[in-house]
Chain A
Amino acid sequence: MSLLASAVDDVSLDRKTLYTVGVYVVMYGLAALFAVPLFRMFVLSVTPSDQLFGMHWIPAGITFQYWIEVFTTRDLIYRWIWNTLVISTITTALVLVVDSMVAFALTRLEWPGQRILFGIVIASFMVPPHVNIIPLFTLITQVGWTNSYWAIILPFTATPLGVFLLVQFFRDIPEELEESARMDGFSTFRIYAQIILPLSLPVITALALFMFVWSWNQYLWPLIVLNNDMAYTLPVGATTLQSVYQDDANRLMAGLAVISLPLFVVFLIFQDKLISSVQMQAGTG
């Protein structure tokens, strides 16, 4: 009897171990597959040209020459980093200000028209951003903004996502705080700036991080309105590298690695925050 019981225990223990081993194999196996492209990017970027033929997981010799070349000879990259940084920073700041203001008006103030406005914001969720590019482009050329920062910053500032996230958060802030502030003679603006905004810091930082990464990575729209390589952002600049180094895999990969570096660093620092900013969006579905 006890023998049987222990045999059963053994079997179930084995099955459990087997199961755990299976989970580890799948998870680490998948992670390895996911890492392959990045690993190849790095390996190729340090592979000497004479070893580019064929496929070696690890090259016989490595060199950092191409990384140094990117930093020392492709001066435009610094310009592109600057452009991208300015555009992403201003876009993020603008989205935060504009979206938090309208979210404040929608949740904390009573005024005619707010229901209609909220309805419009919700409806604009359904308008896919890129179907508008042709009329938007004619608008940008009309006002003469080709190659300017504003051409990239403004068109996608009024995104419904930010408004929606902030509305959900502002709505749950208790009324009493606001009431007592009004008693103390706070103006509407002070209530917005000194009570609602500080209380919403977690959602605001998450939104900021997401917008920054999103704006940094924009591709289709900058590709259309930027046609001067001085005005390029990094994602568009990558196409220049591709055309220059088409047959020079190591130099191309070094270039791509360099221009993806800033966001890798951002990601390393803010990994949890960024992941939670993605998770927040599911609540808006």
Chain B
Amino acid sequence: MATRSTTGGVSAVTDRVDRETLHGFLFALPYIAVFSAFLFYPLLKGLYMSFFEWDLLNPAQSEFVGLANYSTLLSDPLFWQALTNTTWFVVLTVPSLLVVSMVIALGINRGIKGKKVLQFFYFVPYVMTVSIVGFLWLQLYASNGVFTVYLGKYVGGVLTSETFALPALSLVTVWWQTGFYFAVLLASRQKVPERLYEAARLDGAGPWRQFWDITLPQMKNAIVFVLIAGTVFQFQVFGQVETMTSGGPSQSTVTLVYYLYQLGFQTFDLGYGAAVGYVILLILVGVSVLNYVIVGRGVDE
């Protein structure tokens, strides 16, 4: 303080600005360091690796193959199957998650008795690890498991059926993840001003009209969040596949991240795996950008 008043404004101000620059940089440094080492560097290295027939034990011996990994990918039937399976999985899970969690959120919001207990049961699967979820459902889908005992006569043993294995994993996912989306939608519903409903009732709007004309438009941001975040997250499905089906029967549940895992850590095809990783990245960035352009425009924070 004393310096500032005696030596006058200019140098003190530059001092302070310099100090602020230094402090700003120092405070950002830990993040920049961790970010560079574990996110940015691997991202670049992955791109680099994807141009090689990568040798895990002697990386220096890796053979440069140019774009060969990417052209292999284009004609790799398993990659296309994984892409189809993953897309199908997203289509099965995201809308179901939206509908189920919406029903639950609206129900809880009505001030139903025993709200706390209900909320507990809807949310608790979300705090479970995917491996426990997978092994638990493996039992439910077993021949004497509760699912098969009641529904087996319609669908048979789901996990050994090429048609039903992926929907079966989707059901597990809806059970496991609903809590997350339900919480998001509930918060959004609670923010809708009650006077809108009062006004609508005065105008003689029934519950259905109120839902379409008030609830849905008012919750638009949260619904868009559920759709985008849900798509990006479910697209990376891995644990359910790894613990329950290992991609079977006959590759019907191989998803992209599971395929990536197989390439990297079972067949050790690292260069090709890196290329597959990059393509998954591009697809997801594309999805995000597309979402941002199409839906994001209509949503105001």
Residues in chain A within 8 A of chain B (CB atoms): 19, 23-24, 26-28, 30-31, 34-38, 40-41, 44, 52-55, 97-99, 101-102, 104-106, 109-114, 117, 120, 124-139, 154-158, 163, 185, 188, 192, 213, 216-217, 219-220, 223-224, 234-236, 238-239, 241-242, 249, 252-253, 256, 259-260, 263-264, 266-267, 271, 274-276, 278-279, 281-282, 285
- Inter-chain contact B39/A127, CB cutoff 8 Å: yes
Could you say which of A28, A98, A155, A278 contacts B118, with CB atoms under 8 Å apart? A28
- Inter-chain contact B277/A117, CB cutoff 8 Å: no
Can you name the residue of chain A whose Cβ is closest to the Cβ of B48? A135
Contact residues in B for A126 (Cβ distance below 8 Å): 284-285, 288-289
Contact residues in B for A242 (Cβ distance below 8 Å): 131, 135, 138, 243
Q: A34-B121, A249-B139, A285-B225 are in contact. Are A185 and B280 (CB under 8 A)?
A: no
- Inter-chain contact B45/A139, CB cutoff 8 Å: yes
- Inter-chain contact B35/A158, CB cutoff 8 Å: yes
- A263–B207 CA distance with the chains assembled, in angstroms: 39
Is B110 in the interface zone, CB < 8 Å from A? yes
Contact residues in B for A256 (Cβ distance below 8 Å): 132, 135-136
- Inter-chain contact A36/B104, CB cutoff 8 Å: no
Contact residues in B for A36 (Cβ distance below 8 Å): 140, 146
Is B73 in the interface zone, CB < 8 Å from A? no
- Inter-chain contact B34/A158, CB cutoff 8 Å: yes
- Inter-chain contact A23/B107, CB cutoff 8 Å: yes
Can you name the residue of chain A whose Cβ is closest to the Cβ of B275? A134
- A242–B235 CA distance with the chains assembled, in angstroms: 26
Contact residues in A for B130 (Cβ distance below 8 Å): 217, 219, 235
- A285–B39 CA distance with the chains assembled, in angstroms: 21
- A217–B21 CA distance with the chains assembled, in angstroms: 39
**Majority SS at the chain B contact face:** helix
Instruction: Give 27 A-B contacts (CB < 8 Å), ordered by A residue.
Output: A23-B110, A26-B107, A27-B118, A30-B107, A31-B121, A38-B121, A54-B144, A102-B31, A105-B26, A105-B28, A110-B24, A111-B21, A114-B24, A114-B28, A125-B288, A128-B280, A132-B43, A135-B46, A138-B270, A139-B42, A163-B31, A219-B239, A220-B238, A235-B131, A263-B129, A282-B222, A285-B224
Contact residues in B for A109 (Cβ distance below 8 Å): 20, 23-24, 27
Can you name the residue of chain B whose Cβ is closest to the Cβ of A44? B139
Contact residues in B for A264 (Cβ distance below 8 Å): 124, 127
Contact-residue size bin, chain B (C-beta under 8 Å from the other chain): 35 or more
Could you say which of B28, B37, B243, B278 contacts A131, with CB atoms under 8 Å apart? B278
Could you say which of A24, A26, A128, A213 contacts B281, with CB atoms under 8 Å apart? A128
Q: A106-B28, A138-B59, A139-B42 are in contact. Are A279 and B264 (CB under 8 A)?
A: no
Is B41 in the interface zone, CB < 8 Å from A? yes
Could you say which of B131, B178, B265 contacts A236, with CB atoms under 8 Å apart? B131
Could you say which of A23, A28, A41, A135 contacts B274, with CB atoms under 8 Å apart? A135
Q: B110-146 vs A: 1/0 string, CB under 8 Å? A: 1011101111111111111111100111111010111
Q: Tell me the minimal C-beta distance from B95 to chain A in angstroms.
A: 17
Contact residues in A for B247 (Cβ distance below 8 Å): none
Could you say which of A157, A275, A278 contacts B38, with CB atoms under 8 Å apart? A157
Is B164 in the interface zone, CB < 8 Å from A? no
- Inter-chain contact A192/B42, CB cutoff 8 Å: no
- Inter-chain contact A134/B260, CB cutoff 8 Å: yes
Could you say which of B39, B59, B103 contacts A158, with CB atoms under 8 Å apart? B39
- Inter-chain contact A154/B145, CB cutoff 8 Å: no
Chain A-chain B contacts (Cβ-Cβ < 8 Å), number: 280
- Inter-chain contact B119/A271, CB cutoff 8 Å: yes
- Inter-chain contact B144/A132, CB cutoff 8 Å: no
- Inter-chain contact A137/B264, CB cutoff 8 Å: yes
Q: Tell me the minimal C-beta distance from B195 to chain A in angstroms.
A: 21
- Inter-chain contact A133/B261, CB cutoff 8 Å: yes
Q: Considering residues A37, A106, A154, A260, which has the most beta carbons from chain B within 10 angstroms of its beta carbon?
A: A37
- Inter-chain contact A110/B20, CB cutoff 8 Å: yes
- For chain B residues 76-114, which have a beta carbon within 8 Å of chain A? 100, 103-104, 107-108, 110, 112-114
- Inter-chain contact B132/A259, CB cutoff 8 Å: yes
Contact residues in B for A158 (Cβ distance below 8 Å): 31, 34-35, 38-39
Is B251 in the interface zone, CB < 8 Å from A? no
- Inter-chain contact A55/B139, CB cutoff 8 Å: no
Q: A127-B39, A133-B261, A135-B49 are in contact. Are A285 and B221 (CB under 8 A)?
A: yes
Can you name the residue of chain A whose Cβ is closest to the Cβ of B235? A128
- Inter-chain contact A111/B146, CB cutoff 8 Å: no
Q: B1-45 vs A: 1/0 string, CB under 8 Å? A: 100000000000000010111011111101110110111011101
Contact residues in B for A217 (Cβ distance below 8 Å): 127-130
Contact residues in A for B264 (Cβ distance below 8 Å): 133-134, 137, 224
Could you say which of A35, A52, A135, A263 contacts B45, with CB atoms under 8 Å apart? A135
- Inter-chain contact B284/A267, CB cutoff 8 Å: no
- A101–B23 CA distance with the chains assembled, in angstroms: 10
- A109–B22 CA distance with the chains assembled, in angstroms: 10
Can you name the residue of chain A whose Cβ is closest to the Cβ of B126? A278
Contact residues in B for A249 (Cβ distance below 8 Å): 139, 142
- Inter-chain contact A133/B31, CB cutoff 8 Å: no
Q: A55-B149, A217-B129 are in contact. Are A253 and B139 (CB under 8 A)?
A: yes
- A138–B56 CA distance with the chains assembled, in angstroms: 8
Could you say which of B32, B34, B108, B187 contacts A279, with CB atoms under 8 Å apart? B187
